[in-house]
Amino acid sequence: MIDLKKYEVWFVTGSQHLYGEQILKKVEMHSKEIANALNLSKEIPVTVTFKPILTTPESIKKICLEANNTENCIGLVTWMHTFSPAKMWIAGLKSLQKPFVHLHTQYNRDIPYAEIDMDYMNLNQSAHGGREFGFICSRMGIERKVIVGHWKDEKVYKKLSVWMRAASAWADAQGGKIARFGDNMREVAVTEGDKVEAQLRFGYSVNGYNVGELAEYVNGITEAQVNELVEEYEATYTLAKDAIRGGSNHNAVKNAAQIELGMRTFLENGNFKGFTTTFENLQGLKQLPGISVQRLMNDGYGFGAEGDWKTSALLRAMKVMDSGLKGGTSFMEDYTYHLDPSGMKVLGAHMLEVCPSIAIAKPKLEVHPLGIGGKADPARLVFDVDSGEGLNASMVDMGNRFRLIVNEVEVIKPEQDFPKLPVARVMWVPKPNLEIGAAAWIYAGGAHHTVFSKALNSEYLEDFAAIAGIEFLTIDANTNIREFKNELRWNSVYYQGK
């Protein structure tokens, strides 16, 4: 469903005519070589396209306008091989609507002490050329990512890749559609927000659909289609004894498969990228969608429970960013605490809807009562999650801005099994610890719903927030409550004028 190679990043090199044709030819050769190396790298997820060297204000403006009008161009990599007087960039940057990264590199890595002369100095001018370009970007107040290092350095590729994945998520959001089946869970605050502002800011639209309309799709699914999907379940998961054919709960599995097929058809027909459900609006559905939501997330759809469209859109963005990476990304909720002072931690889960992309092993398919919503017992995938680095991300609407909060976490193996827990679950210790991590999260107004990821680190979200021009807060190993509270105060002043 998600293909990043269809996206192009244009490799754009700044220079000027002062150097003469010979130097400009070399600049072009070097630039082509770097663009080509990026394109061949396994680390780089998108297509990198070399563009002719820019030496005039007219050519700069032209390439920026072309980038705006080329749908699969998701942004630019800009590089100042030589000194490119930056007043030349004003008109172009003023019109540019695509994000860009400033690659501050130099063609030659090492200074050739014995041979260096003025010809070498005139060709290798990134050190000051990049500063001239940086000044005009800062003077114009333009958000961009600056990456410093030699273009063959693995660290540079990694940073470029992170930005390219964030820019891909941004491109994916433009014109993206989120469907809400039912409304917000009644009286819940944090899942609400300004959908018009979200569309202006992020580019995706959010619209509501009657659950009855979805139920019609579900009822239109044939027995043969259901049986085929149940066979796929049998091949993919370990079914509980009562869930297999002839078991007392097999019918619930079939009903769940029917719901999945109906939802999938609805979402495909409407070209949606994400959706929400809520257990308070299930008229016409036999059970709360469990396994269907889990499997749709696994295929790249955004999802938010209880009408949470902001989390649905964020999950979709993070599914684009983690495309092809290992670790998985899921809808999540901080569910229950373990508050033993010698090791405080969080048990994360949801009623049902956790994405199997984060599963440590083959999920189990089980049917259990829900105890909420008054519907039939829903089928769900149950699994654990491997230990390692992870994060939780939350998008909240502060009234005059969107705020993206990330808490880095250490995912841990539970000390014991959960023989009676009928949902997928994951345990983690927030960084720097639960005491500070949870306090900072609550001061920041972070939601109970999150997007949990083992595939992404904070840098992806930081780049995404910068492209979107929204507030970004990280809670990590270095977080200190007093400083964090000051950051919140200072940010609130900064955003008064925005």
Q: Distance between CA atoms of 170 and 129, rounded to whole angstroms?
A: 29
Closest to Mn ion by CB, 31 vs 407, is 407
Q: Distance between CA atoms of 440 and 455, rounded to whole angstroms?
A: 23
Shortest reach from residue 308's CB to Mn ion, in Å: 7
List, in order, residues 6 or more apart from 70 with CB less than 8 Å away. Answer: 8
Return residues touching Mn ion (CB under 5 A): 305-306, 333
Assess contact for 417 and 347: CB atoms under 8 A. no
Q: List C-alpha distances in Å: 75 to 141, 340, 467.
A: 18, 48, 10
Shortest reach from residue 333's CB to Mn ion, in Å: 5
- Coil, strand, or helix at residue 393? strand
Shortest reach from residue 339's CB to Mn ion, in Å: 21
Shortest reach from residue 319's CB to Mn ion, in Å: 19
Closest to Mn ion by CB, 229 vs 332, is 332
Shortest reach from residue 414's CB to Mn ion, in Å: 21
The encoded tokens of residue 4 equal 């990043």
Closest to Mn ion by CB, 167 vs 381, is 381
Closest to Mn ion by CB, 333 vs 377, is 333
Shortest reach from residue 448's CB to Mn ion, in Å: 6
Q: Let me know the angle formed at the C-alpha of 403 by 399 and 407, rounded to the nearest 5 degrees.
A: 145
Closest to Mn ion by CB, 45 vs 348, is 348
Assess contact for 409 and 283: CB atoms under 8 A. no
Shortest reach from residue 350's CB to Mn ion, in Å: 6
Beta bridge partner(s), residue 453: 329, 391
Closest to Mn ion by CB, 132 vs 333, is 333
Shortest reach from residue 305's CB to Mn ion, in Å: 5
Closest to Mn ion by CB, 333 vs 384, is 333
Residue with tokens 């009822």: 219
Shortest reach from residue 185's CB to Mn ion, in Å: 8
Assess contact for 144 and 99: CB atoms under 8 A. yes
Q: Let me know the angle formed at the C-alpha of 409 by 405 and 410, rounded to the nearest 5 degrees.
A: 175
Q: Distance between CA atoms of 8 and 10, rounded to whole angstroms?
A: 6
Shortest reach from residue 253's CB to Mn ion, in Å: 24
Task: Provide φ and ψ at 273, rounded to 5°.
Answer: -110, -10
List, in order, residues 6 or more apart from 222 with CB less than 8 Å away. Answer: none
Q: Distance between CA atoms of 443 and 269, rounded to whole angstroms?
A: 41
Closest to Mn ion by CB, 164 vs 423, is 423
Assess contact for 313 and 202: CB atoms under 8 A. yes
Assess contact for 93 and 136: CB atoms under 8 A. yes
Shortest reach from residue 391's CB to Mn ion, in Å: 19
The encoded tokens of residue 242 equal 């009562």
Shortest reach from residue 292's CB to Mn ion, in Å: 17
- Coil, strand, or helix at residue 317? helix
Closest to Mn ion by CB, 111 vs 372, is 372
The encoded tokens of residue 158 equal 């990694």
Using CB positions, name the residue nearest to Mn ion: 305
Closest to Mn ion by CB, 92 vs 422, is 422
Q: With CA atoms as reference, report the closest residue to 275 among 299, 298, 307.
A: 307
Q: What helix, strand, coil percent values describe the chain, rounded to 5? A: 40, 20, 35
Closest to Mn ion by CB, 107 vs 301, is 301
Q: Distance between CA atoms of 60 and 66, rounded to whole angstroms?
A: 10
Shortest reach from residue 297's CB to Mn ion, in Å: 14
Residue with tokens 């609407």: 397
Closest to Mn ion by CB, 78 vs 281, is 281
Count of residues making up the chain: 498
Closest to Mn ion by CB, 160 vs 305, is 305
- Coil, strand, or helix at residue 386? coil
Torsion of CA 225, 226, 231, 234, to 10 degrees: 150
Task: Provide φ and ψ at 407, rounded to 5°.
Answer: -115, 115
